[in-house]
Amino acid sequence: MIQFRQAGVCVFESALYQTTATVIDTPDLVLVVDPNWLPHEVQEIVSYVDSIKRGRPVYLLFTHSDYDHIIGWQAFPEAITIASEAFVQNPAKDKEVQQILTFDDKYYIKRNYPIQYPEIQVVIKKDEEFLSFGQTRIRFWLAPGHNADGLFALLEPLGIWIAGDYLSDVEFPFIYHSVEAYQSTLEKASKILSQARPKVLVPGHGSVCQEGPEMGERIIFSQQYLAAAVRHAQEKEVFDEEALLAAYDFPLGLRGIHLDNLNLITKSLHKS
């Protein structure tokens, strides 16, 4: 379904995990981000792109390599793909593909396109790298922490900030990679907010945000969550898990991820 729409941007929301897929269209291009999950949902995005593209080139950005975000790659075989260098060098490509195949098998899902790990044509290697097409500019920042290969993208002049799996209102930070990297990525997020003043923030899961103060609150909440998790791991400070989970609509699955976060941080402390 369509969660959010305004001139130049349409955000689709999957029934699964409120995962977003974004289509941005400017006079110069159409940019599709993370098309997902279910076949009819991916098809809705394909049809939408077909209906609006009018000869413009279609770019396909992957915010990171988690399988839910790459599941729709081959539904856009003509699109020019964009992702981070770490995405291209992901040592666990097979694992991501296997997760998609397992998901489809488990739910008897057939797709009208093959499942493969995306081949990337435009590789983003560093912060503030940008792509320009006529009046359209896409600025990128490396955003590791959630996983190792995340990217933030800011589409200008529309001011649309694609955040990948950061700054969600339906989940706290999921740390699959590194808490230190996550903290530095949040510092970048603060800078993007104060310097570029995005008009629309699109998280990978949950609701679009159009208010600067709320974007700031989402950053601060994530920082506070990480700080409390680190204090718990380092100083054995009690983490009020029940208070955390009570703030969410879907606490059952989140509890396990919170415990995984604490384990990952504890392990990384022992290593250092």
User: Which residues sit at the interface with Zn ion, rule CB under 5 A?
Assistant: 66, 68, 165, 204
* Residue type, position 189, single letter: A
**Shortest gap between Cβ of 224 and Zn ion (angstroms)?**
21
Alpha carbon separation from 19 to 45, 175, 236 (Å, rounded)? 13, 17, 34
List, in sequence order, the alpha helices (H) in 150-250. Answer: 179-191, 212-235, 241-246
- Alpha-carbon span 272 to 270, nearest angstrom: 6
- What's the distance, CA 183 to chain centroid? 16
**Shortest gap between Cβ of 167 and Zn ion (angstroms)?**
12
**Shortest gap between Cβ of 99 and Zn ion (angstroms)?**
12
41/68 with CB nearer Zn ion: 68
Quote the crossing angle between the two packed helices 179-191 and 251-271, to the nearest 10°: 110
13/165 with CB nearer Zn ion: 165
* Lookup: tokens for 76: 């856009």
133/221 with CB nearer Zn ion: 221
- Alpha-carbon span 241 to 232, nearest angstrom: 11
68/96 with CB nearer Zn ion: 68
**Shortest gap between Cβ of 75 and Zn ion (angstroms)?**
18
- Give the dihedral sign, CA 127/24/171/69: negative
66/149 with CB nearer Zn ion: 66
**Shortest gap between Cβ of 266 and Zn ion (angstroms)?**
24
